[in-house]
Amino acid sequence: MNVDNGSESAKLDNSSMQMDSDDSSDQVKDNEKEKEELTETMNKMHIEGSSSGNGFPNVRRKPVIIIVVGMAGSGKTTLMHRLVAHTHIKNIRGYVMNLDPAVMTLPYASNIDIRDTVKYKEVMKQFNLGPNGGILTSMNLFATKFNEVISMIERRADQLDYVLVDTPGQIEIFTWSASGAIITEAFASTFPTVVAYVVDTPRSEDPTTFMSNMLYACSILYKTRLPLILTFNKVDVAAHQFALEWMEDFEAFQTAASSDQSYTSTLTQSLSLVLDEFYNNLKSVGVSAVSGAGMEAFFKVVEASADEYMNTYKADLDKRREEKQRLEEERRRGDMDKLRRDLEKSGGETVVLNTGLKDKEKSKSKSMMDEEDEIEEDEVTDDDDDDLGIYTEDDDAIDEDEDEEVDKFGL
Ligand SMILES: Nc1nc2c(ncn2[C@@H]2O[C@H](COP(=O)(O)OP(=O)(O)O)[C@@H](O)[C@H]2O)c(=O)[nH]1
Ligand SMILES: [Mg+2]
């Protein structure tokens, strides 16, 4: 338990004392204990519980984590293979990680492979999921154990220069999922971390495709807030010179885009003005995973980005983490207040988790005495939820909604 977690539990203790003085039942204490235990477990799972020991781990300079992301088919896996080969030749000490649970065969040998922990096909079968759901769930399962991965890398940190991370084929599964965010944050709060955004250069020769690719890169930059390296891959097929030109001179891009008079083209031209600032803060490099061109340049840019991380991103990260902790504490306090209010409302009665129709009627007639209007609304929401299987998070929802939620999650 770190210092910050300690202060959190102290705050929880405080609220429990208040509740005792409010004459609450033993069940409240049990609830609190459960809550504390849950908080503790969550904190342990959280990156701050990593073996660095303190709340804000000292970020080492090495190893540098390189998270390789990009559209499906942009050449991430092939590039990983090339990077691994380069590190071997140059005696660079690297660690390789595969986070794609659905990949059939890997062209490189990985040190950590998600497939050793989670069997993607089994997950699909067991949870009755399609391919994307299967990948997402496998990632979620893996993310719950990610503190162990971080500890493993920490133990080897002195012998490593880089950790190369391959991500699932479908970019959004990593960049827009909770598990992707957990994994990225776990890395970024322990080691200097950079994102290599792989671009399929030949396909980006079309201005509209180029623009959508850049917008995606921009969204990743905003989402991860980590140094981003635009890695123009497949330069053996098409040189990335045109891209550099378009990024430096938006007029050149507008001229290229103006050959097409469609709506998207006009929008693309306007967007190029907006993205000018974004381009200014980016580093880019041209590589070929097939021919091996640009490898030296790639690692140079990675080093520069790692410096940038230490100088700029680290401070921002610490600030955001403090803010996150503050919000988390506020939320917890809000939860405790809500629990207390609910208890006062129920008059300390035992809360039945498994609400049948009979219980519903009973609790409805009871609450009806307090808030008649609310109930009509809730009845509608309740029915809708049953049909669609959606859980509401409406603050006004009456207790039975919450009971059902708990019931459905099988707690
Ligand atoms: N010509 C050329 N083809 C490449 C290069 N990198 C990848 N490819 C090809 O692009 C396709 C997709 O590559 P893959 O690594 O599986 O992409 P991923 O889905 O991003 O992992 C494969 O057919 C690769 O052979 C490159 O640098 N040059
Ligand atoms: Mg791949």
Ligand 1 pocket member 74 (CB < 6 A): yes
Q: pLDDT tens string for the chain (411 positions)?
A: 333 333 333 333 333 333 333 444 555 555 566 556 545 554 544 434 333 333 445 556 789 999 999 998 999 999 999 999 999 999 999 999 999 999 999 999 999 999 999 999 999 999 999 998 999 999 999 999 899 999 999 999 999 999 999 999 888 888 888 999 999 999 998 899 999 999 999 999 988 899 889 999 998 998 888 999 999 999 999 999 999 999 888 888 888 887 766 666 777 777 777 788 788 878 999 999 999 999 999 999 999 999 999 888 788 778 877 888 899 999 999 999 988 888 888 776 666 665 555 545 555 544 444 444 444 444 444 444 444 333 333 444 334 444 433 333 333
**Bridge partner list, 98:** 113, 166
**Would you list the DSSP string of 201-266?**
TGGGGSHHHHHHHHHHHHHHHHHH-S-EEEEEE-TTTS-SHHHHHHHH-HHHHHHHHTT--SHHHH
**Which of ligand 1's atoms lies nearest the C-alpha of 289?**
27
Domain assignment of residue 45, yes or no: no
Pair 154, 233 in one domain: yes
Residues 304 and 360 in one domain: no
Identify whether residues 148 and 267 lie together within a single domain: yes
Whose tokens are 């997402």? That residue is 136
Ligand located closest to 83 CA: 1
- Residues 276 and 364 placed together within one structural domain of the fold: no
Q: What is the pLDDT of residues 178-232, one digit of tens each?
A: 999 999 999 998 899 999 999 999 999 988 899 889 999 998 998 888 999 999 9
Same domain, yes or no: 317 and 384: no
* Cα torsion angle, 72, 75, 79, 80, sign: positive
78 close to ligand 1 (CB < 6 Angstrom): yes
**Ligand 1 atom nearest 237 alpha carbon:** 1
Q: Which residue is associated with the tokens 């809000």?
A: 334
Domain boundary among 300, 321, 342: 321
Per-residue model confidence as pLDDT tens digits over 351-367? 666 555 554 555 554 44
Domain membership of residue 40 (yes or no) is: no
Give dist(CA 129, CA 298) in Å, integer: 38
Q: Give the C-alpha separation, 141 to 120, whole Å.
A: 10
Same domain for 405 and 357 = yes
306 and 358 share a domain? no
Q: Ligand 1 within 6 A of 82 CB?
A: no
**Contact of 154 with 114, CB cutoff 8 Å:** no
Distance from Cα 75 to the centre of ligand 1, integer Å? 4
> Measuring from atom 14 of ligand 1, which residue has the nearest CA?
75
Q: Assess whether the C-beta atom of 237 lies below 6 angstroms from ligand 1.
A: yes
Q: Can you give the pLDDT at residue 125?
A: 94
Q: Give a yes or no: residue 80 inside a domain.
A: yes
**77-115: burial string, b at 16+ Cβ within 10 Å, e else:** bbbbbbbbebbeeeeeebbbbbbbbbbeebebebebbbb
Quote the ligand 2 centre to 77 CA distance (angstroms).
4
Nearest bound ligand to the CA of residue 99: 2
Domain CATH code at residue 285: 3.40.50.300
Ligand 2 centroid to Cα of residue 7, in Å, is 43
Q: Which atom of ligand 1 is nearest to the CA of 233?
A: 27
pLDDT score recorded for residue 36: 63
Any ligand 1 atom below 6 A from CB of 70:
yes
The residue range of the domain holding 96 is 64-321
Q: What is the CA radius of gyration of the chain?
A: 26
CB 188 within 8 A of CB 66: no
* Alpha carbon 165 to its chain's center: 15
Cβ of 134 closer than 6 Å to ligand 1, yes or no, is no
> pTM score, two decimals?
0.67
